Amino acid sequence: MASESLESIAVPLSYPIPGVSYKELVKEQSANSRGIPPAKFIDDVQGHVSASKTGADGVLKQLQGLYGKYKFMETQLSQQQRELQQKIPDIKSALQALQFLIKKKEADEEVSTQFELADNIYSKAKIHTNDTVCLWLGANVMVEYSYKEAEELLSGNLKNANTNLAGLEKDLAFLKDQTTITEVNVSRVHNHRVSLRQQEGTRQPAAPAVAAS
């Protein structure tokens, strides 16, 4: 009897799932910095299923629920990663523009630039540098800072963003390993369940033959 594909049985489920416990499937004492517990590899599938009160079907439900949790966390962290990947170039651009203004200020030079009047319509302008610059903070909020304050703020934001991005990449790699382990566990438990059903089928008595009239 051919087993089903992993994709057909390891479907991410909504979480949390009422009545489903994951304590036997994860190493809670070894959680990473975000508190994500690593998955246990079920080495003895037969022993694990035998020790479970829910049988192979219950263990599969637990594993599928755990898989769904890992995929949910992966989706959330991937979204944060994309946001940071978009934000970091903007911070770098703002910091470079600020450093350009500081250099012009120190040289006591005007800044020649272009500003947008309307879509695809620009005008040339000369800016007299001073000691302040305005930064967008989000939510339609703009605040005026001195050059020194703005540089410290942008440099700090860039450092934090790079640190957070590195942490997210590490956590996503960790989650990928856990989903792989869980997928393997699902596949092995499913195959064990198929084997059990085959054994039950061979133990059933054959139907009595009906004599032809």
At residue 84's C-alpha, the angle toward residues 78 and 85, to 5°, is 85
Provide the pairing of β-strand 121-127 with 132-138: unpaired
Can you give the pLDDT of all 213 residues of the chain as single tens digits?
Answer: 333 333 333 333 333 444 446 677 888 666 777 888 899 999 999 998 888 888 889 899 999 989 999 999 999 999 999 999 999 999 999 999 999 999 988 888 888 888 888 888 999 988 887 889 999 888 889 999 999 999 999 999 999 999 999 999 999 999 999 999 999 999 999 999 998 888 877 665 554 544 444
Burial class from Cβ neighbours inside 10 Å (0-12, 13-18, 19+) for residue 199 reads: exposed
H helix runs in the chain, sequence order:
6-9, 45-51, 55-106, 147-203
Contact present, 88 and 80 (Cβ < 8 Å): no
Say which residue the tokens 């203004």 belong to: 101
- Report the distance separating Cα 114 and Cα 126, nearest Å: 8
pTM of the complete model beyond 0.85: no
